[in-house]
Structure 1
Amino acid sequence: MAMLKTETPSLAHSGLDQYGAAELVHAFVDEQLHAVQAVRAASASIAAAIEAAAPRLAAGGRLIYVGAGTSGRLGVLDSVELYPTFSWPHSRALAILAGGRDAMFTAVEGAEDDLRQGGADLNALAPGADDVVLLLAASGATPYVLGALRAARERGALTIGIANNAGAPLTREADVGITLDTGAEIISGSTRLKAGTAQKIVLNTISSALMVRQHKVYGNLMVDLKPTNAKLVQRSVRLTMHATGADEASARAVLEQCRFHVKVAIVALLRQASVAQAGALLEQANGSVRAALVK
């Protein structure tokens, strides 16, 4: 069996176990630069994934993440962050992980080898044509993930395969394949390192770009956050002040009227409208602050 590039021992740091603390830090940090380079090299396929996914989400589709081990946990992380950051509904950002929820915290041995379970877990979510399934595997050949991929394709969902080895089954069979050629790891085979970093960058990029397309951002401000704690409440006030030029008291007063919905507060302040009128303008503009301001 040919050795995967991600499993090949690195020739760059064969004396790693003899490094001092400073040398270890430099070696590990410098290795991460390859993750950024690998993502940059895949920019065209990442953009293609965003272009294909955006209209499906606009039509009501869901983001569904699939993975095993580190890759699966990165998918879970991306899915749960979309609600507080962009008010993206929990029901429209789902993640399945080989081994189930317990595998988020404890390795479930052998779970990633179960191709049939991957298909069954994906089918349990009843994906449809408007859904977008993001499948991650450093090797690009994890059976659980491939099972989910094939089930998603059978149901007509858009599939985006993300792997760290060229020519992998995952990227070949997906509607959009993203290859992150991060190469050998500084600790041989430990793909939680730069392979995982590259996957995280891609997930950040795809989901954030899709949220921009769904009008969750005005300029570069996250104006559709859920203020679920004191920090986010204060952030809502600052964002509103920055976008409108209002003082803190005025921004907070309008935010309190609209349950700290930053979008609504911005439109109300800039259009000198009531909260109800601002909400109506946003609805007519499909949630776009920029469009609501010129209506």
Structure 2
Amino acid sequence: MPRPRTEALHDMAEGLDMRPLADVAGVLARGQIAAAEVVLAAAPTIADGAAAMANTIRAGGVLHYVAAGSSGLMAAADAQELGGTFSIQPAQLRIHMAGGLPTGVEMPGDTEDATESLQDTLTDLSTRDTIIAVSASGSTPYTLAAAQTARSAGATIVAIANNTGSALLELADHPICLATPPEVISGSTRMGAGTAQKIALNMLSTLMAVELGHVHDGMMVNVRADNIKLRARARSIVRRIANVEQTAAETALEMAQGEVKPAALIAATGVSADKAYEILRETEGNLRAALARKT
């Protein structure tokens, strides 16, 4: 069997440890850039996966992020941002990381082979759900077992792997192959492969938010404004969309209990809070469509 690309030697590997650190730093940086560039080729499949994720949220299903090791950390980071950034409800998000999310600095490597816990944690999978499965090799036992369980349950599988033709991609409804070059440090997939995974995961969740109407002119209009910075951002967003002064934006946000979409609609059109919510329900939360309604 040929060696997986993620385990191959980089063409600058020979004598790497004898070079000045500044030279090695340049090699590492170029390796990261090369890894990031491969995501462009996967953009259409990433968009398809994001649409499937949006369908799951609309249907009241659950997004299950599944991975091990550094891929698990990337997946968990993306999942944990969705509430604060786009107000995706916690009940619609799950993180399944081999061995559980680490609470300290140690992350045991043998947990990626431990598949037993998945039988309990994935028992409630349904056809409404989507699994986002991430594995650099595409052959991690924990991630593969989760994908197989999802296949049996009829759930949608969005898979990210860095080796073409890998088992995980073969199982997926939306196979996202990030064919990153060999790592500068062979097999250290937290580097190039991890960088590409992070970009793809961020794209998936952001494109999902766009599809759900949570982005308007590049602004996060479904943000949960629960700290000083985000409250200031909410005011700025309402001011920009409605073209009003700060006082009017603050008043609209108070009427909308801090929610940006109805506040923007109130400030832009002068409708009541109840009417704003009614219009947004009718437009499935799409602010642009709501603004086009006017009344």
User: What TM-score, normalized by structure 1, do the two folds share?
Assistant: 0.94
Q: Which residue of 2 aligns with 1:288?
A: 286
Contact 2:47 2:207 in 1 (8 A): no
Question: What is the CA-CA distance between 1:103 and the residue it aligns to?
Answer: 6.7
Question: What is the CA-CA distance between 1:2 and the residue it aligns to?
Answer: 3.4
Q: Which residue of 2 aligns with 1:266?
A: 264
SS across alignment from 1:115: coil
Q: Amino acid of the residue matched to residue 46 of structure 2?
A: I
Asked if 1:149 corresponds to 2:163, the answer is no
Q: Which residue of 2 aligns with 1:256?
A: 254
Asked if 1:94 corresponds to 2:101, the answer is no
Contact 2:72 2:98 in 1 (8 A): yes
Question: What is the CA-CA distance between 1:118 and the residue it aligns to?
Answer: 3.7
Quick one: distance in 2 between partners of 1:279 and 1:129? Answer: 30
Residue-by-residue CA offset, 1:157-196 (whole Å, 9 max, x unaligned):
0011111011100001122211111021011110000100
Residue-by-residue CA offset, 1:83-102 (whole Å, 9 max, x unaligned):
01011101112111000133
Q: Which residue of 2 aligns with 1:20?
A: 20
Q: In angstroms, what is the RMSD of aligned CA positions?
A: 1.7
Q: Which residue of 2 aligns with 1:83?
A: 83
Q: Which moved more, 1:43-52 or 1:153-162?
A: 43-52
Q: Which residue of 1 aligns with 2:198?
A: 200
Matched ranges for 1:1-295 at <5 A:
2-102=2-102, 105-123=105-123, 126-295=124-293
Question: What is the CA-CA distance between 1:23 and the residue it aligns to?
Answer: 2.1
Residue-by-residue CA offset, 1:211-247 (whole Å, 9 max, x unaligned):
1111111222111101111111111111111111111
SS across alignment from 1:42: helix
Q: Amino acid of the residue matched to residue 83 of structure 2?
A: Y
Quick one: distance in 2 between partners of 1:258 and 1:104? Answer: 40
Q: Which moved more, 1:285-294 or 1:1-10?
A: 1-10
Quick one: distance in 2 between partners of 1:228 and 1:293? Answer: 25
Question: What is the CA-CA distance between 1:114 and the residue it aligns to?
Answer: 2.1
Aligned residues: 293
Contact 2:72 2:97 in 1 (8 A): yes
Q: Amino acid of the residue matched to residue 255 of structure 2?
A: Q
Contact 2:132 2:158 in 1 (8 A): yes
Question: What is the CA-CA distance between 1:61 and the residue it aligns to?
Answer: 1.7
Question: What is the CA-CA distance between 1:105 and the residue it aligns to?
Answer: 4.6
Question: What is the CA-CA distance between 1:49 and the residue it aligns to?
Answer: 1.8
Q: Amino acid of the residue matched to residue 137 of structure 1?
A: S
Q: Which moved more, 1:211-220 or 1:83-92?
A: 211-220
Quick one: distance in 1 between partners of 2:25 and 2:257? Answer: 45
Quick one: distance in 2 between partners of 1:104 and 1:97? Answer: 15
Q: Amino acid of the residue matched to residue 49 of structure 1?
A: G
Residue-by-residue CA offset, 1:48-100 (whole Å, 9 max, x unaligned):
32333332322122211000000011111111100010111011121110001
Quick one: distance in 2 between partners of 1:273 and 1:53? Answer: 32
Quick one: distance in 2 between partners of 1:286 and 1:44? Answer: 25
Gaps of 5+ in 2: none
User: What TM-score, normalized by structure 2, do the two folds share?
Assistant: 0.94
Contact 2:35 2:181 in 1 (8 A): no
Residue-by-residue CA offset, 1:16-50 (whole Å, 9 max, x unaligned):
22333432332222111222221112223222323
Q: Which moved more, 1:133-142 or 1:3-12?
A: 3-12
Quick one: distance in 1 between partners of 2:238 and 2:104? Answer: 36
Q: 1:162 to 1:224 in 2, by over 3 A?
A: same
